[in-house]
Amino acid sequence: MDALPVVEVNQVYFRYKRGGFTHQGPAILEDVSLSVQKGDFLGVVGPNGAGKTTLVKIILGLLKPDRGVVRVLSRSPEEASSLVGYVPQHTHFDRHFPICVEDLVRMGRLHKAPRIGGYSPADRQAAREALHAVNLEDFRTQPLSALSGGQYQRALIARALANQPEILIMDEPTASVDTHAQQALYDLLQRINRGDLPPHAPVTIILVSHDLGFISSYVNRVACLNVRLVCHPTEQITGTIIKDLYRGPVHIVKHNHIVE
């Protein structure tokens, strides 16, 4: 018998409310179903406004669907939140705030830290291991302002890893970094997914991205979302699928071939 999915989204509908509860905006998600197995590296792609971030927030329990059922690790999203790491698209965090890189990473342990007495030795060890995993241990005492864009993204990943999550969800993690930093981040995520880094257990990853060409070399499945969702193994993605998804011709350069 197959193991239970670590994330199960079943027939979810969602609209943002406008003008109170009596007027609703257009449908953001319609009849969306998705099953994510333990150890998956899932890419979620689609045009702007397709509902990608909304779907992520529903899985995290930050939004509630109008209809449908969402289970994460066989629990409600709220109950499973402590086992899920999240790197949002926009952090709205002042990088000139007077804390060091290690302080930022320790924030990933806040829900586990004691209410009195600050961080425990286990919290500090988890933060150090997370910094080592993303190759930022030499920057742990540096201010956030000293980090490049790629290094700052790795620090945010370390903050999520300090929680020692079973699932890592990332929303456009490479949107503001250069090509070299993008590849370094994806290589890092691949190692995290395989369990090559502390705590040396495979981590299921859900990655929202606009760049199918880059992620196609890393993910094992692609969820194509544009209000409705269709999931494909990576090797089945074709130019026709991409054209239908984006509702027009799109030129996607992949590592091994070109899809038009």
pLDDT at 49: 85
Res. 25 pLDDT band, cuts 50 70 90: confident
* Distance, CA of 70 to CA of 11 (rounded, Å): 9
Closest CA to 33 of 1, 65, 79, 61: 65
Q: How many domains does the chain have?
A: 1
Distances (CA, A) of 13 to 27, 57, 68, 169, 224: 8, 13, 6, 21, 16
pLDDT at 249 over 60: no
Q: Does the residue 97 lie in any domain?
A: no
* Distance, CA of 149 to CA of 134 (rounded, Å): 14
* Distance, CA of 100 to CA of 173 (rounded, Å): 21
**How many degrees, rounded to 5, is the angle at CA 127 between CA 124 and CA 133?**
145
* Distance, CA of 101 to CA of 70 (rounded, Å): 34
* Distance, CA of 234 to CA of 106 (rounded, Å): 35
Q: What is the pLDDT of residues 154-176, one digit of tens each?
A: 999 999 999 899 999 999 888 77
Average pLDDT of 90-110?
Answer: 84
User: Of 15-24, 55-64, 144-153, where does the model show the most confidence?
Assistant: 55-64
Q: Does the residue 138 lie in any domain?
A: no
Distance of CA 81 to the CA centre of its chain: 13
Residue 45, φ and ψ in degrees, nearest 5: -125, 160
Distances (CA, A) of 241 to 20, 41, 214, 220: 37, 20, 17, 17
pLDDT at 14 over 60: yes
Enter the tokens of residue 23: 């007027």
Res. 147 pLDDT band, cuts 50 70 90: very high
Closest CA to 151 of 169, 131, 127, 171: 131
* Distance, CA of 253 to CA of 211 (rounded, Å): 9
pLDDT at 114: 61
Q: Does the residue 199 lie in any domain?
A: yes
Q: Identify whether the C-beta of residue 64 lies closer than 8 Å to the C-beta of residue 58.
A: yes
Q: Does the residue 243 lie in any domain?
A: yes
Average pLDDT of 131-157?
Answer: 92
The CATH number of residue 239's host domain is: 3.40.50.300
Q: Does the residue 125 lie in any domain?
A: no
Q: What is the pLDDT of residues 199-210, one digit of tens each?
A: 678 999 999 987
Res. 251 pLDDT band, cuts 50 70 90: very low
Q: Does the residue 110 lie in any domain?
A: no
Res. 243 pLDDT band, cuts 50 70 90: low
* Distance, CA of 202 to CA of 51 (rounded, Å): 27
Q: Does the residue 106 lie in any domain?
A: no
**How many degrees, rounded to 5, is the angle at CA 176 between CA 171 and CA 178?**
120
Enter the tokens of residue 1: 């018998």
The pLDDT mean for the chain works out to 84
Average pLDDT of 145-151?
Answer: 90
Expressed in angstroms, the distance from the first to the final Cα of the chain is 40
pLDDT at 41 over 90: yes
Q: Does the residue 13 lie in any domain?
A: yes
**How many degrees, rounded to 5, is the angle at CA 175 between CA 170 and CA 180?**
100
What's the pTM?
0.85
Which position has the higher pLDDT, 241 or 80?
A: 80
Enter the tokens of residue 18: 């406008």
Could you tell me the residue range of the domain that residue 66 belongs to?
Answer: 7-90+166-259
pLDDT at 241 over 70: no
Res. 66 pLDDT band, cuts 50 70 90: very high
**How many degrees, rounded to 5, is the angle at CA 84 between CA 153 and CA 62?**
90
